Amino acid sequence: MRAIIPAALALAVLLTACGSLPQAAPSHHSHKRPTLTAKVRTAPLKAAAAAGPVYYQHQVVILMYHGLSPMAHGDYITPGSFAAEMAALETKGFHFVSLPQVQSFLAGGSLPPNAVAVTFDDGLESVYTYAYPILSQDKVPFATFLIVNRIGRFPGDLSWAQVKAMEQSGLLTVGSHTLASHGTVPTGPGKTGPALTSLIYDAATGKTETPAQYSARISTDLRHARQILQAETGQPVVWFAYPFGSYDQQVERILREEGYRYAVLAEWGWGVTTSAQPLELPRINTGTPKTTPATIASTVRYIASLTAHDPGAVPPPSFVPSWP
């Protein structure tokens, strides 16, 4: 296997990460969260033709979104654009699959041709307010990765009641986006890095967190996040999304120890084949205004063609950004 080289993927829009390399900040992420009150009603998606085209087989392209807003900005797209993107994929012969179906595929099962999976990061309220009505009309499965300590605590974030309503529909798979480690921490004088993959620097003492202290901190976070999600939903939680797409072998070891079996990236635009490492599953970022209903189908086909050409390509063993 060889590592995927981001530059070879050509389309920069596909490589923008979950909060890609933001300005350093102590907050858990930099998204501005609009107050959402109205649900969007859309026409049902048109069913794909019974004998539609086969663009690719034996892989799935996982789509990454964050939030929906009447005003597109940053990691938010409009509800109308999202509905049109889903409709474009449906009418052009793509098949929506759930993350449990992806699990089965990685274990040797099959997927329909032109398979795509829809995922949302951060647990924003707009998933329930805007995306869920669109997806539920045609029973499109989807997943959301939750920052657990924010649920029901802040405006613009999901409540437990909303999470449970979506989960009980049978369409939602819930995953973890950490308990409270979606943010930045000081890593040295004037430097910060992702909380999940960085040793914390204490400016007052000039000391840096030891590897043992780091391991204990991350283990506790990931364990409690999974326990809370399972207690609230009554379902096993085995999926995880790396904040900022940052990961390394230490985090993967802790994920395994804490019961996670699958994890999705943010930076590496590629399809998922049976050659993929379960804790390093690529996604493409379709949740920005740069992706449109007119381009989403061709974008997915392009990524799938790259993957089919080199199905053994894998992401590098780690990706840990730092910010001055």
Of 305, 321, 322, 324, the C-alpha closest to 313 is 305
3-state secondary structure 61-119: EEEEECEECCCCECCEECHHHHHHHHHHHHHCCCEECCHHHHHHHHCCCCCCCCEEEEE
Per-residue pLDDT band for 30 (boundaries 50, 70, 90) equals very low
What is the mean predicted confidence (pLDDT) over 310-323? 85
pLDDT digits (tens, 9 = 90+) for 88-107: 999 999 999 999 999 999 99
Give Cβ neighbours of residue 132 (< 8 Å, ≥ 6 apart). Answer: 166
pLDDT digits (tens, 9 = 90+) for 162-191: 999 999 999 999 999 999 999 999 999 999
Specify the pLDDT at position 323: 76
Residue 87 has pLDDT above 50, yes or no: yes
Residue type, 227: Q
Residue 60 has pLDDT above 80, yes or no: yes
Residue 36 has pLDDT above 50, yes or no: no
- Which tokens sit at 132? 């869920």
For the ranges 26-40, 161-175, 239-253, the lowest mean pLDDT is seen at: 26-40
Mean pLDDT across the chain: 87
Please identify, in words, the CATH class of the domain defined by 6-29+56-309: alpha beta
Specify the pLDDT at position 10: 38
What is the mean predicted confidence (pLDDT) over 141-162? 97
Residue 44 has pLDDT above 80, yes or no: no
What is the mean predicted confidence (pLDDT) over 251-275? 94
Specify the pLDDT at position 313: 85
Specify the pLDDT at position 312: 83
Residue 118 has pLDDT above 80, yes or no: yes
> Would you list the DSSP string of 240-261?
EE-GGG-B-HHHHHHHHHTT--
Per-residue pLDDT band for 321 (boundaries 50, 70, 90) equals confident
Specify the pLDDT at position 52: 84
Helix spans in the chain (H) = 79-91, 99-106, 126, 132-137, 160-168, 211-233, 249-257, 296-309
For the chain, give every domain's residue range.
Answer: 6-29+56-309
Specify the pLDDT at position 25: 37
Specify the pLDDT at position 51: 60
Residue type, 108: G
